[in-house]
Chain A
Amino acid sequence: MIEKEGIPATRKNGADISKDTLQKNGCHQESGIRVRELKAIEFPAADTIWVEYHETTGNPVTDRIFAAFAGDQIVSLARCRRHPDGMDIDGIFTPAEHRRKGYSRLAVGALVEACHNDNLYMHAVRHLIDFYTKQGFIPIAEKELPPTIRERYIWAGGNLEGAEVQPMYRKAGLFF
C-alpha cells in the first residue's frame, strides 16, 4: 500500500494516524482515548472508516471531522458539514468491534464543543434520541430544519418516522 505524508497506509476497521501526529496536535485524552479534529490531509483515513457507513466521504472545504483514537487507530468519527443555511451533523460512526465503549460519546462531544458557535442540526436515528439529548440537542419538526439540510431526507417524502430518524437541533453556545 502507498503511504501518504503523515498518514501510514490504512488497515481494515480503523485508520492509522502516526503517534507523532497525535502528540504534535495536542489531542484530548480520556481513559487512553484521544480525541481531536482531523486535518484535510487526514480525511482519506476517515473515508476508509466510513466505507462501512454508506461509503461516506469527507470534503475539506465544507466538513469538520472529529475522531476518537485508541493508540494510533481511529475508533469513532463524527462530522459537521457547513451548508449554505446551517450546520449539519452526520457521519457519526463507530466500527462494530469498537462499539459500547463510549467512543462515540467522545467524538460527538468534541464536535459539539468545537462547533458550538453555530446552531447545529441533525437527523438522529430514533433509538439514539436520548444520547443526543444529553449533548444538548432537542427534537424538532422536519419543517424547522434549514431547507438544504432537510433535502438529505427528501426521499422519505415527509415520513421521517417511517425512516426511523428524528430531526434534532442544538442552539449555539457552550454549557459549562
Chain B
Amino acid sequence: MKTFQLFNSSSLFTRTRALTLAVATVIALAINLIGMITGITVLLSHIIYIPIILAAYWFPRRGLVFSTLIAVAYGALIALILPLDILLIIATLFRMTFFILIGGVVSFLSAKLRESEQQLHEIIEFLPYPTFAVNRKGEVIAWNQAVEEMTGVKKAEILKKGDYAYSVAFYGIKRPALLDLILSPNPETEAWYPQIKEEGKKLVSEVFIPHFKEGKGIHLRIAATALVDGNGNITGAIESIRDITEQVMTESALQNTSSRLNTIAGIVRHDISRKLAGLYGILSIGVMKFDDPDVLFFIEALKDSAQGIQRQIDISREFKDIGTSPPTWIPVQETVLDAVGRLGIGGVSFRSWTERLEIFADPHLPAVFFHIFDATIKDTDGVTTVIITYHIRENGAAILIETDGAGIETGIKESLFTQRDERYGNGLFLAHEICSISNMTIRETGTPKKGTRFEILIPAEGYRIV
C-alpha cells in the first residue's frame, strides 16, 4: 500500500508497474531477511538492486527517494537482526550508499531518456503535416494532431491498432499503405500508387483521395521512411502526408492558361505573318514603280523593319514550347553540331571539343547554341573561328564558346541577355531563359576587339563526363 501511495498512480498501466515493484521489493527484502537469519549477508544484498533499478527506470522522479527508503530498510534489518561490529557497520553503510547512488544515476538517465522521447513525441505531435508511424507488426505507434484533423480519426481510437487501420482512416478500406513498402516490399502494395519515387531514404508518391473534403477530393503527396534502431534494424516506418491540392490546381490552371495563350499567340502570329507578306508584296511593287532614290531608300528602310518583325515572330514561336517538356541528359557535342547545321553559315570554322560532356537541360538546348552562334557571328564583325570547349570547375562546369573578331563592347554586355528589340535581338534572352530552367546561367566575358567568350555555367549536379 505504501508503494501505491508513493507513486500515487491512477492508470492501470502505472498501477501494474507499482504492484510489480512492490512485489519485487518485498521478495528482495524477504530474501535478504532469510539470508541474515541464516548468516548469508554478502551476495544476497545485490538482489535489492532489482527493485531499485525498476523504480528508477519506471518512476524516475521518485527513484532517488525509493532507493533511499529501501537502503534505510536494509540497514534497519541488519541492525535489528545481526550483532553489529565495526566491519559490518562500515560494509552496510557502503551498500546503503551504493543503493542510493545506483537509484540516483538510473533515475537521472531515465529522466533524460524520457525527456528526449517526450521531445520527439512533441515534434511529431505538432508537425504541421499529417504524420503517423507504425511498428514492425504494423500497429500504429504515433498519430499526430494534423492527421487527426485530416482523417477525423482520434489518436486514442487508433493507437496500437494493426490490420491496416490507418488505411481505413485514409482510403476507407483495409489495404497496404506506402509505409508498408518500407516494412515489406510487395508489388501488390506498389500497385496502389501510380508512381513511386525513391528520394534518398524516402519513398515518395502522390495520390488522389476522392471522398475527402466532403467529396471534393484531395491530392496528397506522401513520403515514407524507415524507423531504425541503433544497430540499423528496421523497427517500424513513418509516413508524412502533405495536401498539394492547391498546387495541383494551380499547375492545372497555369497549363490551361498557357495553352490558351499559345493558341491566341499562334493566331496573332499567323495574322501578322499574313499582313507582313502583304506588306512585302506592296514594297516589292513600290521598288518597281518608283525610281526616285529617296523613295527607294524609304522603301528599303520599311523592308528592314518588316524583316525585324518577322524575326521577332520566329523567336516568339520558339518561346511557346520552352519548359513544356522536362529537362533530360543531353550530349553537348551532338547538340552543338545540330545548331551549327541549322545556322547554315559558310566560311566560319567551328571546332567543338565536347564529345564527353552531357548536361541536364531543357530539350530546347540546341536553341541556346543556335542563338549564341547567331549573335556572335551575325552581329559581330570579323568572326572566322568558333571554338567550343568545356572546363571542370570547383562548383560545376562551364561550356565556353569563344570566337575571334571584334567582340562585344563592354557597355552592351550587361543588357545582352535581357529582352530587347535592338541589336542582338531576343535570341540571347531566349537562350538565357532555356538555361535557367535547369539552373544554368550564361555570361559574356570576352575582351572587346579581341573576340567573344560566352560561358554557360552548369551546376555540379547538372553535368557528367561519359
Whether both chains belong to one complex is answered with: yes
Q: A39-B355, A64-B356 are in contact. Are A25 and B333 (CB under 8 A)?
A: yes
Q: Could you say which of A25, A28, A60 contacts B351, with CB atoms under 8 Å apart?
A: A28
Q: Is B19 part of the contact surface with A, judged by Cβ < 8 Å?
A: no
Query: Which of A49-57, A68-76, A108-116, A128-136 is near enough to bind chain B?
Result: A108-116
List residues of B (351-400) whose CB comes within 8 Å of A's CBs. Answer: 351-353, 355-356, 385, 387, 389, 391-392, 398, 400
Minimum CB–CB distance from B424 to chain A (whole Å) comes to 22
Minimum CB–CB distance from B205 to chain A (whole Å) comes to 35
Minimum CB–CB distance from A33 to chain B (whole Å) comes to 14
Contact between A114 and B353, CB atoms less than 8 A apart: yes
Q: Could you say which of B356, B391, B400, B404 contacts A39, with CB atoms under 8 Å apart?
A: B356
Residues of B within 8 A of A115 (CB): 389
Q: Could you say which of B334, B352, B353, B387 contacts A24, with CB atoms under 8 Å apart?
A: B334
Contact between B353 and A37, CB atoms less than 8 A apart: yes
Q: Could you say which of A28, A40, A110 contacts B356, with CB atoms under 8 Å apart?
A: A40
Contact between A113 and B389, CB atoms less than 8 A apart: yes
Q: Is A144 part of the contact surface with B, judged by Cβ < 8 Å?
A: no
The distance in angstroms between the C-alpha atoms of A113 and B351, with both chains bound, is 9
Q: Could you say which of B355, B385, B391 contacts A25, with CB atoms under 8 Å apart?
A: B355
Contact between A37 and B351, CB atoms less than 8 A apart: no
The distance in angstroms between the C-alpha atoms of A116 and B389, with both chains bound, is 9
Residues of A within 8 A of B355 (CB): 25, 36-39
List residues of A (30-62) whose CB comes within 8 Å of B's CBs. Answer: 36-41, 60
The distance in angstroms between the C-alpha atoms of A117 and B391, with both chains bound, is 6
The distance in angstroms between the C-alpha atoms of A25 and B465, with both chains bound, is 15
Q: Is A84 part of the contact surface with B, judged by Cβ < 8 Å?
A: no
Contact between A117 and B400, CB atoms less than 8 A apart: yes
Q: A113-B389, A114-B389, A174-B387 are in contact. Are A26 and B334 (CB under 8 A)?
A: yes
The distance in angstroms between the C-alpha atoms of A85 and B235, with both chains bound, is 48
Q: Could you say which of B334, B356, B391 contacts A37, with CB atoms under 8 Å apart?
A: B356
List residues of B (172-223) whose CB comes within 8 Å of A's CBs. Answer: none
Contact between A26 and B352, CB atoms less than 8 A apart: yes
Q: A39-B466, A176-B385 are in contact. Are A110 and B391 (CB under 8 A)?
A: no
The distance in angstroms between the C-alpha atoms of A60 and B356, with both chains bound, is 10
Q: Is B406 part of the contact surface with A, judged by Cβ < 8 Å?
A: no
Q: Is B244 part of the contact surface with A, judged by Cβ < 8 Å?
A: no
The distance in angstroms between the C-alpha atoms of A28 and B351, with both chains bound, is 7
Residues of B within 8 A of A164 (CB): none
Residues of B within 8 A of A36 (CB): 355
Contact between B466 and A40, CB atoms less than 8 A apart: yes
Nearest neighbor of A176 in chain B, beta-carbon distance = B404
The distance in angstroms between the C-alpha atoms of A41 and B352, with both chains bound, is 20
Minimum CB–CB distance from B22 to chain A (whole Å) comes to 69
Residues of A within 8 A of B400 (CB): 117
Minimum CB–CB distance from B429 to chain A (whole Å) comes to 26
Minimum CB–CB distance from A99 to chain B (whole Å) comes to 25
Minimum CB–CB distance from A16 to chain B (whole Å) comes to 18
The distance in angstroms between the C-alpha atoms of A26 and B356, with both chains bound, is 12
The distance in angstroms between the C-alpha atoms of A117 and B333, with both chains bound, is 18
| B interface footprint on A2-28 (CB within 8 Å = 1, 0 otherwise) | 000000000000000000000011101
Contact between A113 and B466, CB atoms less than 8 A apart: no
Contact between A110 and B333, CB atoms less than 8 A apart: no
Minimum CB–CB distance from A88 to chain B (whole Å) comes to 15
What 11 additional pairs, Cβ within 8 angstroms, besides A28-B351, A40-B466, A117-B389? A25-B355, A26-B334, A26-B337, A26-B352, A41-B466, A110-B353, A113-B353, A113-B387, A117-B400, A174-B387, A174-B402
- Can you name 29 A-B pairs with beta carbons within 8 Å? A25-B333, A26-B333, A26-B334, A26-B337, A28-B351, A36-B355, A37-B353, A37-B355, A37-B356, A38-B355, A39-B355, A39-B356, A40-B356, A40-B465, A60-B465, A64-B356, A110-B353, A113-B351, A113-B353, A113-B387, A114-B389, A115-B389, A116-B389, A117-B389, A117-B400, A118-B391, A174-B387, A176-B385, A176-B404
A-B complex: 6 closest residue pairs judged by Cβ atoms: A114-B353, A117-B391, A176-B404, A37-B355, A26-B337, A25-B355
Where the two chains meet, the residues of B that have a C-beta atom closer than 8 Å to any C-beta of A are 333-334, 336-337, 351-353, 355-356, 385, 387, 389, 391-392, 398, 400, 402, 404, 451, 465-466
